[in-house]
């Protein structure tokens, strides 16, 4: 009951905020409809912090003093930003909320353990503020990248203990504060997307960033409903409580995701209309075999059916400023051809105010594969060139985002990165 009451107050706060700022934008139109025609092409990269995949370096957690750790972590970030400049990258998608923790000074979320090894421990500096200052100094835009629903990467006893221990600090973990919001899916603790209080809470997290930091954008990744056959999300009781007006549970789940996107979009537009809001969904909305509006693909995990995210609808309603589908297949992968999907997404955004950026699988370049051999032919350069050429040729595509930062300096990507630098730095 206590958590439901707090959730109610979060809702009042959001409603009051939107009302005070005149958040109407009921038309769902984009605030910068001419941006796509005038802006430079997006040349972006995702910088992943979950499990320290790209940053911070694991070695920094073994530093002898906090000052050494801070110096090493900040140096690693500036080195990465300098590498982006050399590659011609103009936008970084910095993962500030990898789970139920934060990489900014938050009054809602505890500090992330990737910074110190301990959830809730103050790292001694503000990584988001640092990235913003250093990136903007170099002419690089920064989008704060959030995983909205994930609370933890596993549900092991030691994880439970670390999250519960935050009750002795402020702010405490959402896991400890609102236990009735927590579910398990894919062996992880997640928030229940069907609870209105959860959507209000996520909106409050986003508005905290937008209010307090000069971010150029907010991005949600594709982890909406994230479950597996072995570890499904048990939201049956939530469905019984809130799903009466829907035809079935799948429609109710998609309705919940739509409500979150609508609410967050409205809040951002009310607070700072020039801050972009985007989503980077799985590359396939639906296969044509399941829906005549779908793409001519035969595989993948369609976001409509597995993540319960009707991303096509969000574009058609103008709820986003941009969409960045992850098209992580080569031209010759028959079940999901890159060119087929790039063309399909171009059709979706056409005559809408939503910009299209395409996520490209830098992490596959140079890796031998029997199903996708093109990634390793001549260092992956021919495949990468075909993808970038197509992106530049399609008028609806506003740019490319690479997944992910660490692959700018891996041996198998050397030739491809050299090609990127020659192409992007010369503006070709």
- Does residue 414 lie within any of the structural domains? yes
Q: Which helix (H) or strand (E) holds 346?
A: helix 338-349
Please report whether residue 397 resides in a domain.
yes
pLDDT, average across residues 364-379: 96
Residue 427: what pLDDT? 59
In a domain, 237, yes or no: yes
User: What single string gives the DSSP state of each residue in 291-344?
Assistant: -TTSBS---S--IIIII---HHHHHHTT--SEE--B--S-TT-TTS-HHHHHHH
Q: What is the pLDDT of residues 325-353, one digit of tens each?
A: 999 999 999 999 999 999 999 999 999 99
Split at pLDDT 50, 70, 90, the class of 37 is: very low
pLDDT (tens digit per residue) in 245-255? 999 999 999 99
Task: Mark out the alpha helices in 219-248 (DSSP H runs).
Answer: 236-242
In a domain, 27, yes or no: no
- Calculate mean pLDDT across residues 39-56: 95
What pLDDT is attached to residue 25?
A: 40
Task: Answer for the pair 46, 403: CB distance below 8 angstroms, yes or no.
Answer: yes
- What is the rounded distance in angstroms from the CA atom of residue 145 to the CA atom of residue 148? 9
How far is residue 43's CA from residue 97's CA, in Å, rounded to a whole number?
22
Q: What percent of the chain has pLDDT over 70?
A: 90
Please tell me the predicted confidence (pLDDT) of residue 13: 54
What the block records as the tokens of 179 is: 């236990």
Considering Cα of 197, then 203, then 207, then 213, what sign does the dihedral take?
positive
**Is position 220 within any domain?**
yes
Task: For residue 171, say if its preceding peptide bond is cis, omega within 30 degrees of 0.
Answer: yes
Q: Tell me how far apart the alpha carbons of residues 259 and 251 are, in angstroms, rounded to a whole number.
A: 12
Q: Note the pLDDT tens digit of each residue in 350-364.
A: 999 999 999 999 999
The three-state secondary structure class of 184 is strand
pLDDT averaged over every residue in the chain: 92
Alpha-carbon distance 344 to 394, whole Å?
A: 11
Rounded average pLDDT over 136-156 = 97
With 0-12 / 13-18 / 19 or more C-beta atoms within 10 angstroms meaning exposed / middle / buried, residue 351 is exposed
Structure tokens at 164: 């519960």
Helix (H), strand (E) counts: the chain: 14, 10
Domain count, the chain: 1
97, 146 contact by CB (below 8 A) = yes
What pLDDT score was predicted for residue 38? Answer: 42
Q: What is the mean pLDDT of residues 363-391?
A: 97
User: Average pLDDT, stretch 62-68?
Assistant: 95
The answer to whether residue 17 scores a pLDDT higher than 60 is no
Residue 60: which CATH number? 3.20.20.80
Sign of CA dihedral 183, 186, 190, 192: negative
Contact 356, 349 (CB under 8 A): yes
Assess whether pLDDT exceeds 70 at residue 26. Answer: no
Is residue 293 pLDDT above 50, yes or no? yes
The pLDDT-based confidence of 169 (bands split at 50, 70, 90) is confident
Whether 33 is in a domain gets the answer: no
The answer to whether position 36 is within a domain reads: no
Half-sphere exposure of 270 (CA within 13 A, CB side): 21
Q: Would you say the pTM of this structure is higher than 0.85? A: yes
pLDDT at 167: 94
Q: Is residue 31 domain-resident? A: no
CA–CA dist 420, 416 (Å, integer): 6
pLDDT one-digit tens code per residue, 172-207:
999 999 999 999 999 999 999 999 999 999 999 999
Q: Give me the residues paired with residue 4 across strands.
A: none
Q: Residue 407: which residues within 8 A CB-CB, separation 6 or more? A: 362, 363, 365, 413
User: Is the pLDDT at 35 greater than 60, yes or no?
Assistant: no
Range of the domain at 206: 2-19+41-425
């Amino acid at each position: 009951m206590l958590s439901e009451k707090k959730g109610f107050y979060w809702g009042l706060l959001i409603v009051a905020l939107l009302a005070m700022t005149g958040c109407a934008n009921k038309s769902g139109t984009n605030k910068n409809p001419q941006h796509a025609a005038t802006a430079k092409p997006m040349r972006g990269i995702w910088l992943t912090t979950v499990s320290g995949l790209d940053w911070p370096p694991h070695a920094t957690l073994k530093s002898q003093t906090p000052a050494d750790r801070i110096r090493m972590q900040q140096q690693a970030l500036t080195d990465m930003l300098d590498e982006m400049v050399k590659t011609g990258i103009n936008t970084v998608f910095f993962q500030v909320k990898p789970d139920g923790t934060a990489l900014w000074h938050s009054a809602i979320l505890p500090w992330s353990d990737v910074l110190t090894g301990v959830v809730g421990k103050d790292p001694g500096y503000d990584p988001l503020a640092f990235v913003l200052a250093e990136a903007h100094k170099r002419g690089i835009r920064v989008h704060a990248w959030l995983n909205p629903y994930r609370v933890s990467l596993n549900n092991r006893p030691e994880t439970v203990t670390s999250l519960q221990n935050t009750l002795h600090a402020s702010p405490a973990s959402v896991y400890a504060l609102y236990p009735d919001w927590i579910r398990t899916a894919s062996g992880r603790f997640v928030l229940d997307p069907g609870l209105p209080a959860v959507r209000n809470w996520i909106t409050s997290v986003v508005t905290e960033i937008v209010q307090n930091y000069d971010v150029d954008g907010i991005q949600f990744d594709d982890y909406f409903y994230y479950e597996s056959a072995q570890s499904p999300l048990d939201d049956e009781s939530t469905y019984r409580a809130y799903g009466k007006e829907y035809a079935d549970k799948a429609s109710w789940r998609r309705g919940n995701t739509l409500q979150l996107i609508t609410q967050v979009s409205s809040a951002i537009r009310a607070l700072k209309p020039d801050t972009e809001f985007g989503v980077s969904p799985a590359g396939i909305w639906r296969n044509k075999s399941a829906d005549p509006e779908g793409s001519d693909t035969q595989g993948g995990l369609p976001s409509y059916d597995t993540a319960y995210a009707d991303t096509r609808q969000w574009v058609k309603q103008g709820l986003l400023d941009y969409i960045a589908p992850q098209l992580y297949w080569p031209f010759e992968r028959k079940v999901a051809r890159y060119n087929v999907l790039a063309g399909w997404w171009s059709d979706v955004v056409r005559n809408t105010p939503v910009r299209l950026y395409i996520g490209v699988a830098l992490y596959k370049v140079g890796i031998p594969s029997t199903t996708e051999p093109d990634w390793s032919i001549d260092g992956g350069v021919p495949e990468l060139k075909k993808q970038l050429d197509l992106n530049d040729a399609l008028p609806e595509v506003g740019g490319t985002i690479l997944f992910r930062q660490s692959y700018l300096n891996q041996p198998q990507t050397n030739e491809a990165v050299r090609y990127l630098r020659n192409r992007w730095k010369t503006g070709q």
